[in-house]
Amino acid sequence: MITTVCNVHVTAEGVEAFKAASLANAEGSRNEPGVTRFDLLQQVDDPTRFVLYEEYVDEAATQAHKQTPHYLAWREAVTDLMATPRATYSFGDRL
């Protein structure tokens, strides 16, 4: 199991567009073989900050995800909405 946590800070003007693009990506991602979870979370006290929480069966599934049309569309749609570069962390099996 591979867990990926992506922290995203978007511009105030980009919040709604980011949410729309990310929800579409999450929906498509949940239908991928090898994806066991894909959540979009918005910070309560700062609505410009988001977390994408993703779980994959293995590293191959994470790489396959990055080639899907919905991920590539998401990446293109959100690039100009970022207030700072996104920070992504991956973790292996649960201990």
Amino acid type, 29: S
Beta-carbon contacts of 5 under 8 Å, excluding residues fewer than 6 positions away, are 51, 52, 53, 54, 88, 89, 90, 91
Res. 93: pLDDT tops 80:
no
pLDDT in tens, 18-45: 999 999 999 999 999 999 999 999 999 9
pLDDT score of 90: 92
With tokens 């099996």, the residue in question is 93
State percent of the chain over pLDDT 90: 96
Enter the pTM of the model: 0.91
CATH class assigned to 2-90? alpha beta
